[in-house]
Amino acid sequence: MPQIRTAIFRIGTPLLGIGCLIMLYLILTNRELPGLAWDAVLDPVHFQSFKILFISIVLEAFPFILLGVLFSALLQVFVTDELIRRIMPRNPVAGVLVGGLLGILFPLCECGMIPVVRRLIRKGMPAYVGIVYLLAGPIVNPIVFSSTFMAFRATPEIAYARMIAAFAIAVAIGLLLSKFMKRSPLRQGSEQASSEHGHGHEHHAHAHVHAHGQLGDETRRQGFRARASATFSHASDEFFEMGQYLLIGALLTAVIQTAVSRDALAGFAGEPTLAYPFMMAFAYILSICSTSDAFIAASFSGIFEQGPLLAFLVFGPMIDFKNTLMMLSTFKLKIVAMLIALTAALTLAGALIAEVLL
């Protein structure tokens, strides 16, 4: 299985990269692909929408992945394992609460969360705390709160309900994991490869600092340059590792978005028992960044009630299609499946409760 996955990404990623360049060229030049079989396979109007959706998802997510991998690389090079272990609370409850509020200090989109969380866990942060940050961070942060508040100016209670629900769900999952998760959730192969790579860079930077650290300002600057070089090396490696999953997720997401019509959404809105799971599934498929998904949700406020809209706003940033692929590159399959199931069940319950209270 690992060999098949490696072969798929080895062949598929360059092809997707070429496809990205072709579609970007078509958008910039306002051209279509030569007719041949395309008209029979995909309507030109739909294909134009597909191109725009695909490129917009990629362009929207890449800056946040870049921010995430840069922050992850800075953690790797400048923050020691001992410091992470020392500042993290030993009490599981306190650790989970801290993890749920880390997004306030480090407001990253879900696109950039995974490399940061992976690095923090490898540095010594308890895995359940890292997963709480992964789930709550994309929502419980000032940027997302501001965008949600602006999108729902007429009903600001949705912005508050979104923050409370996301924090409560992430904390509940973290408490369950702290009790029942006994082994590392990281994939074995990825963990070993990154560990070896990380130790190599740490040793390189460490050697430079100790060899020149006490010989004056010039040599101390050389030590800093060695650390800066290691930072950019880490960032570039993780950027391309995460980018391949983003490309595949963006491609499939754009295909699905193109095929789903707005009329179909109205049909689901008329069935209360279907509205909640549908909006959660819709958020999963759309894979929109948490800094902008509130404006998409607000556009459906005349179709869906507040409960289904809240389910969309909470579930999507925690679990969506593209970050599922990225999680599978970092965490074991069993952990990812459990996170999806727990998050879906708790989001549904929280949205139903909020519908009564709002």
**Per-residue pLDDT tens for 121-134?**
888 888 999 999 99
Identify which of 22-31, 119-128, 254-263 has the greatest average pLDDT.
Answer: 119-128
Is the pLDDT at 199 greater than 50? The verdict is: no
Q: In the prediction, which pLDDT does 353 show?
A: 93
Do 97 and 133 touch, CB atoms closer than 8 A? no
Range in 147-161, 291-305, 332-346 with the lowest mean pLDDT: 291-305
Q: What is the arithmetic mean of pLDDT over 143-164?
A: 90
Residue type, 253: T
Which two structure tokens, joined as six digits, stand for 192?
A: 């070993």
Mean pLDDT for the stretch of residues 217-223: 47
Q: pLDDT-based confidence at 255, cuts 50/70/90?
A: confident
Res. 195 pLDDT band, cuts 50 70 90: very low
The per-residue pLDDT for 293 is 80
Average pLDDT value for residue range 61-83: 71
Say what percent of the chain tops pLDDT 90. 23
Mean pLDDT of 168-182: 93
Distance CA 116, CA 73 (A): 8
The whole-number pLDDT of residue 206 equals: 41
**Which DSSP string do the residues of 134-175 spell out, in sequence order?**
HHHTTTSSHHHHHHHHHHTTT-THHHHHHHHHHHHHHHHHHH
14-23, 159-168, 257-266, 274-283: which range is least confident on average?
14-23
pLDDT of res. 198:
44
Confidence of residue 225 (pLDDT cuts 50, 70, 90): confident
Give me the pLDDT at residue 205, please. Answer: 37
Average pLDDT on 123-149 reads 89
pLDDT tens per residue, range 303-336: 788 999 999 999 999 998 888 988 888 899 999 9
Q: What is the mean pLDDT of residues 287-305?
A: 79
Confidence of residue 118 (pLDDT cuts 50, 70, 90): confident
**Position 94 pLDDT exceeds 90:** yes
**Range in 1-15, 225-239, 307-321, 324-338 with the lowest mean pLDDT:** 1-15
pLDDT of residue 101: 92
pLDDT at 249: 63
Output 44 or 74, whichever has higher pLDDT. 74
Give the residue-averaged pLDDT of 282-304: 80
Q: Is the pLDDT of residue 136 over 80?
A: yes
The secondary structure of 242-288 as a DSSP string is HHHHHHHHHHHHHHHHHH--HHHHHHHHT-HHHHHHHHHHHHHHH--
pLDDT confidence tier of residue 70, bands split at 50, 70 and 90: confident
Mean pLDDT lowest among 73-82, 189-198, 314-323: 189-198
Three-state SS for 38? Answer: helix
Q: Is 304 left (phi over 0), alpha (psi -120 to 50) or beta?
A: beta
Give the number of other Cβ atoms within 10 Å of residue 145's Cβ.
19
Q: Does 34 have pLDDT greater than 70?
A: no
Which pTM was predicted?
0.68
Residue 292, both tokens: 């902008």
- The mean pLDDT of the chain is 75
